[in-house]
Chains A and B, each alone.
Chain A
Amino acid sequence: GQQLNQSPQSMFIQEGEDVSMNCTSSSIFNTWLWYKQDPGEGPVLLIALYKAGELTSNGRLTAQFGITRKDSFLNISASIPSDVGIYFCAGQKAAGNKLTFGGGTRVLVKP
């Protein structure tokens, strides 16, 4: 069963707003990754985190690897329309192992 709890499940954004989402787990993961998936496409890697406490940025994206190795968060600053999509966190126990995905956060544009 799913081990990663990702929240929120969905959120509405207005252009220019900052967006935050997080993942928590009952078990330790040694790598955390964040992916974005557009409808009908494969997940695209955004950020990979390898060390507890690590804070990594990729443009307007910032992610952190929780100090307990059981959580991670992703921030998107100054959102733009193309940020719409589904964001997944994924944890990996050891190098080369399978990925365990969170349930996803669906980012939508405010009407």
Chain B
Amino acid sequence: AAGVIQSPRHLIKEKRETATLKCYPIPRHDTVYWYQQGPGQDPQFLISFYEKMQSDKGSIPDRFSAQQFSDYHSELNMSSLELGDSALYFCASRWRGAGGTDNEQFFGPGTRLTVL
């Protein structure tokens, strides 16, 4: 079965550079979530999109922005990178059309960002 695809899998950047992370949800999934996981920590919610509109916002720095496109893929843009931005960034997707009790979010393999 198709899973969530994230690219790149690994990214190395210098301080103050910019980075773009991409997420391709499971086919027919219309909702995308971004999470950040620091070393030894649990994933923290950043932002989510449903039908190309922002649906919720968590602890996402102002230096970061994201969007969802017409094909439902999403991109997380990160500017003025700081050392503390080094983390695993996960995208998860869900089919909101499921309604009812089907609330499962399926995670991608993540992008490991290292800021030097």
Contacts and interface: CB of A to CB of B under 8 A. Distances in A.
B99 interface: yes
Interface of A: 2, 31, 33, 35, 40-45, 48, 50-51, 88, 92, 95-104
Contacts, number: 65
B58 interface: yes
Q: Chain A: interface secondary structure?
A: loop
B107 interface: yes
Contacts of B107: 35, 42-45
B56 A97 contact: yes
A42 B110 contact: yes
Contact of B99 (A95, A98, A99, A100): A95
Contacts of A99: 33, 35, 43, 45, 92, 105
B42 A104 contact: yes
B43 A98 contact: no
Contacts of B86: none
A43 B71 CA distance: 24
B70 interface: no
Contact of B96 (A31, A96, A98): A96
B11 to A, nearest CB: 14
A99 B34 CA distance: 10
Contacts of A42: 4, 90, 107-110
Contacts of B64: none
Contacts of A33: 103-105
Interface in B24-38: 31, 33, 35
Given A42-B108, A43-B43, A98-B58, 20 more contacts: A33-B105, A40-B112, A41-B110, A42-B4, A42-B90, A42-B110, A43-B107, A45-B104, A45-B106, A45-B107, A48-B104, A50-B103, A51-B101, A92-B103, A96-B94, A97-B56, A99-B43, A99-B92, A103-B41, A104-B42
